[in-house]
Amino acid sequence: MISEPSRHCTVELQALPARIGQVRRIISAQLRYWHLDPLIDQAALGVTELLTNVHRHAQPDKSCTVDIELLLDRLTVSVHDHDPRLPTVNEADSFATSGRGLALIAAVSESWGVRPIGSAGKAVWFTLPAVTGASTLPPLAVYGSMTDGPFGAVTITPDDIAALPARSAVVG
């Protein structure tokens, strides 16, 4: 039995600069409504970066869909566009004024990835932990730009978590 049902919000738009700010405000208001105020800054930054990538790179058009879903203790934000080309993480020059979007998402999110949608485009997503008082499991990290992430069926037990080796990461 699931004690807290999933919550879902979808926004369809053209990824134009004026619309990006509007969507950021919509996402912020929705997270406030769900009482997830601590996630607003990270979610707003992530959705801004993903929509900016659609605006700058997506072909043949700039239409896209932003989905946010809260399922138990995990918030997933995804942006679907019609460009089948997959994004890449760039190592930006220290003086560059752009090119760090996916690296920023990786830095502020629990996990992120890309899900191709055949020749109809792709979905780029990231997750944030939405820990509630009822949660007893630590968040499960799914790293990498080509994973199924929250879109695959995963069942985890406390014994599975205990069996995982310790991990650390160094950035730089």
Please give the residue that has the higher pLDDT: either 110 or 150: 110
The helix (run of H) or strand (run of E) holding residue 124 is strand 122-129
Is the whole-model pTM more than 0.85? no
Continuous H helices in 34-100: 40-57
Prior bond of 60 cis (ω within 30°):
yes
Query: Cβ of 109: how many Cβ atoms within 10 Å?
Result: 23
Dihedrals φ, ψ of 31, to 5°? Answer: -65, -35
pLDDT for res 57: 86
- Containing 64, the helix (H) or strand (E) segment is strand 63-71
CB 83 within 8 Å of CB 100:
no
- pLDDT tens digit string along 74-123? 999 999 999 998 887 767 666 655 666 788 898 889 999 999 988 889 99
The pLDDT of residue 59: 85
pLDDT tens-place string over residues 21-71? 999 999 999 999 999 999 999 999 999 999 999 999 888 889 999 999 999
Q: 96: which 2 tokens?
A: 């560059």
Contact criterion met (CB below 8 Å) for 112 and 126: yes
> Which tokens belong to 153?
């069926």
